[in-house]
Structure 1
Amino acid sequence: MKRKTLAAAFATLLFTTGAAVASEAPKLPAQSWSFSGTFGTFGRPDLQRGFQVYKQICSSCHAAHLLAYRNLTDIGFTPQQVTDFAADFEVEDGPNDEGEMFTRKAVAADRFVKPFPNEAAARAANNGAYPPDLSLMTKARVGGPDYVYALLTGYKEEPPAGFALMEGMHYNEYFPGHQVAMAPPLSEGGVDYADGTTATVEQMAKDVVTFLSWAAEPEMEVRKRLGVKVMIFLVALTALLFALKRKIWSDVH
């Protein structure tokens, strides 16, 4: 009986907490994404620009440790470009013949190097806040890509009248509670795009969200192509089975 009471109380707590958070979060503006829908794909120029935004702005605080540098060839970078990207970082390796660890330049097979050695160091560098890993961010948040885009573009210089903003926090229209420790990461002209695209806040946000969506589901395009082939096969099989059924039962009246 006691267990049932505790379980009911816990369920009520979860429900009320979830409802409070849901009611607090504003409606996200729907965005048009090239990778949405059954036949959606990732635009390679978009992905490369998004990686540039991640590399130059986001990677100083946020890891994407589930990605390896060699994965970047899947979005159109050459093996030499990938080697050059990786060589900008050092990783710990070993032990060597003397049983000691050593550092070396990262290679294409290495995972993206984390900006901090551990969580404590990350918090110390960010006033106690912990920058999350971005590898699965677009799948981990309700609203997915729309939420991440809204977060990046939802900062306001001044909170609404009467809103009590805590010291060291920043007002964001789409963050639950509207107070976020991360300062606005994007500003006009924040990167110099290699393809000459104008780097507005909206453009950079869209590009980096596209890149993070690919990082979370790098197999998406293959999965969609396979799904279409399976559906075509099933339709053809259904038609053949229907024709066979009519042939078998054609003499039965």
Structure 2
Amino acid sequence: MVRLIAGLVGLFFSGMLLISFVTGAYTAVTEPATPTVESRFHKHPKKVSFKHDGPFGHYDKAQLQRGLKVYAEVCSACHSLNQIAFRNFEDLGYSEDEVKAIAKGWKTEVPSINPETGEPATRPGLPSDKIPAPFANETAARAANNNALPPDLSLMTKARHNGTAYVYSLLTGYQPVPASLPKENRPGTGLHYNPYFANLNLAMAPPLTGDDQVTFDDGTKATKEQMAKDVAAFLTWTAEPKMEARKTAGWASLVFLIIFTALTYLSYRTIWADKKH
């Protein structure tokens, strides 16, 4: 009796699931969703390749150093990088002395306390310090950016789908407002049209305004596209600094599993070789 009731209950729920599926499919076909303005004008990230792409990819340290320079001279005016310490830059190929120089020469000093007066003060950075934020607090950040809060960039490429390409596309994607864009969706005061941004209108003005905005130490031509690509790679590193180690561990684990499987199979054949079926 219990099995009969259980079977009937299962049949009932299976029937309801089937009815819901058929009803939903019918509605989707007969009453398709009306596309929104955002979906009509919004673009997916551009196709762009990096050396760290794919299972065998690895970071290009020269590119990461160029990306750091773009961040330091352009992006850091508004955006923080509060998950990264100066000493982490050694992973980009800088020596200990070079990291000390970068920390000491950073344009925003580190908040501190005057030991003599106990009053708030600032001091030059040390390798152990996190990258100082450009603003003292959220209120100051909004006041300097038309009430918009510039997001922290430490994990930005992890927070967005296809994040590296998204950052590159956003930085190179500012365009004139299309004539067909409805009036109510046109950017208002202090906003800028960018089809790679979800709602099309971005409070951030184009940060990369032309070529040679920075000077790369390795002599690479600082075109707008090159700067955007380099800083996108750098922000991928800030979000996944251990990516190379993770890939190496993954391949080592895969090789181990293959060898273990082969040894297990050979052991099975050896143990059962003289057994009759």
- Please confirm whether the aligned pair reaches a TM-score higher than 0.5, indicating the same fold: yes
Residue of structure 1 in register with 2:155 after alignment: 136
- Gap regions ≥5 residues in structure 1: 1-18
Paired residue secondary structure (2:111): strand
- Match for residue 206 of structure 2 among 184, 193, 215: 184
Show structure 2 runs of 5+ residues with no match.
Answer: 1-34
Does the Cα contact within 8 Å between 2:38 and 2:199 map onto a contact in 1?
no
* Aligned match of 2:179: 161
Partner of 1:193: 216
C-alpha distance in 2 between matches for 1:46 and 1:195: 10
- Kindly provide the amino acid, as one letter, of the partner of residue 234 in structure 1: L
Do 1:170 and 1:183's aligned partners in 2 also have CA atoms closer than 8 Å?
A: yes
Q: Retained in 2: the 8 A contact 1:171–1:178?
A: yes
Aligned length: 234
Counterparts in 2 of 1:1-253, with a 5 A limit?
23=39, 25-88=42-105, 89-94=108-113, 96=115, 99-156=118-175, 158-163=176-181, 164-186=186-208, 187-253=210-276
* 1:98 Cα deviation from its structure 2 partner: 6.2
Higher Cα Rg: structure 1 or 2? Answer: 2
In 2, the alpha carbon distance for the partners of 1:65 and 1:167 equals: 30
For residues 43 and 122 of structure 2, what CA distance do their matches in structure 1 show? 46
State the distance in 2 between where 1:21 and 1:38 align: 37
**Aligned counterparts of 2:94 and 2:168: Cα–Cα separation in 1:** 24
CA separation of 1:168 and 1:227: change in aligned 2, threshold 3 A:
same
Q: Distance in 2 between matches of 1:221 and 1:42?
A: 7
TM-score (norm: length of structure 2): 0.80
Find the aligned partners of 1:99 and 1:166 in 2 and give their Cα distance.
45
Percent identical pairs in the alignment equals 47
CA distance in 1, matches of 2:169, 2:232: 10
Offset at residue 182 of structure 1 (A) = 0.7
Mean CA deviation greater in 109-118 or 159-168:
159-168
